[in-house]
A and B are shown apart, each in its own frame.
Chain A
């Protein structure tokens, strides 16, 4: 059958080409990065052959492993605390007629998104360095606190969105059917809110795991996380070990985002 000349009203000249170039350029560096992770050469520069040696090398590098463990410790703690706090805050700021302080709460909770990270980073450096002197404590607590603060708005976002789409009449119905406040929350609100909480938890986790700037300024000596370790390595001669670490890190992020994507897709 001959193709009929049709006029697609949605089409704009050249847009599809630019979009394709855009997707290509978006993934080209990432693919390059991953490809070089398998390079059997001491420098990244020249391709010598396929090898997994840099993955082994990273696995046997105690600094890398320590930094990874620390990253996870911080991300898990920060994401959990942030999600609980954000869930409570979302419950407190949605599905209500405006009350005094509501706008203030929105502004406050979203503040970490508004201020440039570097500013928050130096502010925390200044503040925590004082506290470190006063208390003598220099553990992971500072990093967890800092991460929790900037994770809260990310966790808050999907939870609030979910809550706002939840019909208040369900809770009213529960109350009508003899459920007290707590029981209504336990049997109706929480199960319905769960996908939002999960999404918030994952976002917070990824955001914490990815952080470089604030961690770089807040960490005490020997408290490198994986990203700050990598940032430090980039100053030196780069070996494909960095590519290998990046590849694993990348896979992890992709996995989490994929789960997030599937959950949010299923529930809507």
Chain B
């Protein structure tokens, strides 16, 4: 992956958005700040109602923040109406104009900007080629499939060459296979155009596969910003760990904190090494997380021990649910091979061994 330059395309500074007044007052965004770098694929990830779409709409200009600034290459664009911002959006339902053809849809933005006809035509055919829709240029948007509509929506938003492209859950209406295809397509488009993409989704897998960086949001706040790897393996907070992937939460006593490492003493009395987020010094009891694939079920003793409660077959792997001796439930994920069964039986007493460097200490 090429290094991204450090210039910020968008800077969100102390932005709040409050809906309603008095009793019905709801803060959709609560003092959010985040820089988004030029040319990066940046994802806002969170459950519905976390404020991710609100933030996107503020950047697009469909809503105005109650407080704070939104800088586009250093200029505050927060007070500008949407048609004065060099920012375009791919809408969740595409919002294609049903009374126009594919080509007319793509050319609409340029037409509104008053570009000469020849330029519009050239640009439209370039865009049609980019999204591989040349053959359907004259079709009405109601006569093309969902995947094709998606491509038209992309082309339409890219045609005016925006500085930033906003994508509001654009893949949510597509079925699984098409979604996978479009994920790759989107990455390709971003690489080819070099435009900064801000992508909103509630699908963690989508976020992990596509993004350069992810901001995890909850209840109007950004909890953690980082690369997919950071977010998955080094979640800073319980919400982040819980929302992304499957996780086991364990209580442990933490000491010997140094250089981002610590010693975690489990309830069983065994100790394991754990990583700690930068600039954070936990003391005493804390929650640590271990991903199911970073633990192993073993016949002999491990760092933890318990009884197999349930074995769930998933095709590629098997989940072994272990009732630990202290009463907590712990999930181990085990890769399947073709011939052998998982090797354990329900009711069997087993040990759980945790690989080095698998545990992460949470802030809360």
B258 at the interface (CB under 8 A from A): no
CA distance A169 to B82 in the complex (A): 13
B62 contacts which chain A residues (CB < 8 A)?
A: 172, 175-176
Provide the B88-99 mask, 1 if CB < 8 A to any CB of A, else 0: 110101011111
Interface residues of A in 158-182 (CB under 8 A from B): 167, 169-170, 172-180
Q: How far is the CB of B344 from chain A (nearest CB, A)?
A: 52
Shortest CB-to-CB span from A14 to chain B, Å, is 43
| Residues 169-224 of A contacting B (Cβ, < 8 Å) | 169-170, 172-180, 183, 187-188, 191-192
B112 touches A169 (CB 8 A): no
In the complex, what residue of chain B is closest to A191 when comparing beta carbons? Answer: B99
Query: Which residues of B159-192 have CB atoms within 8 Å of chain A's CB atoms?
Result: 160
Q: Check if A177 sits within 8 Å of B88, measured CB to CB.
A: yes
Is the beta-carbon distance between B83 and A178 smaller than 8 angstroms? yes
Chain B residue, CB-CB nearest to A177: B109
CA distance A172 to B81 in the complex (A): 11
A167 partner residues in chain B, CB cutoff 8 A: 93, 95
Contact of B98 among A176, A179, A192 (CB under 8 A): A192
Q: Are A173 and B97 in contact (CB under 8 A)?
A: yes
Cβ A183 vs Cβ B98 within 8 A:
no
Q: How large is the interface on A (under 10, 10 to 19, 20 to 34, 35 or more residues)?
A: 10 to 19
Assembled-state Cα–Cα distance A170/B240 (Å): 35
Please determine whether B83 and A180 come into contact, CB atoms closer than 8 angstroms. yes
Q: Is the CB of B91 within 8 A of A173?
A: yes
Residues of B within 8 A of A183 (CB): 112
Task: Determine if B291 is an interface residue (Cβ-Cβ < 8 Å).
Answer: no
Which residues of A sit under 8 angstroms from B89, Cβ to Cβ? 173, 176
Complex Cα spacing A172 to B109, Å = 12
Q: Assess whether A169 is in contact with B83, with CB atoms less than 8 Å apart.
A: no
Query: Which A residues are CB-close (under 8 A) to B82?
Result: 172, 175-176
Could you mark each residue 143-171 of chain A with 1 if its beta carbon is under 8 Å from any beta carbon of chain B, else 0?
00000000000000000000000010110
CB < 8 Å neighbour of B113 from A173, A178, A188: A178
Q: B99 near A172 (CB under 8 angstroms)?
A: no
Q: Which of A170, A177, A187 counts the most chain B CB atoms within 10 A?
A: A177
- B243 interface residue, CB < 8 Å from A? no
Contact of B112 among A172, A178, A192 (CB under 8 A): A178
B156 an interface residue at 8 Å Cβ cutoff?
A: yes
A178 in contact with B160 (CB, 8 Å): yes
Chain A residues contacting B97 (CB-CB under 8 Å) are 170, 173-174, 188, 192
Instruction: Write out the residue numbers on chain B whose beta carbons fall within 8 Å of the beta carbon of A172.
Output: 62, 82, 91, 95
Complex-state Cα separation, A257 to B88, whole angstroms: 43
The distance in angstroms between the C-alpha atoms of A178 and B81, with both chains bound, is: 9
| Residues on the A chain within 8 Å of B95, using CB | 167, 169-170, 172-173
Q: CB distance B60 to A176 under 8 Å? A: yes
> What is the interface of chain B, defined by CB distance below 8 A to chain A?
60-62, 81-83, 87-89, 91, 93, 95-99, 108-109, 112-113, 156-157, 160
Nearest 5 Cβ contacts at the A-B interface: A177-B109, A173-B95, A178-B112, A169-B95, A175-B82
- Could you list 28 A-B pairs, sorted by A, with CB under 8 Å? A167-B93, A167-B95, A169-B93, A170-B97, A170-B98, A172-B62, A172-B82, A173-B89, A173-B96, A173-B97, A174-B97, A175-B62, A176-B83, A176-B87, A176-B88, A176-B89, A177-B83, A177-B112, A177-B160, A178-B83, A178-B160, A179-B108, A179-B112, A180-B112, A183-B112, A187-B108, A187-B112, A192-B99
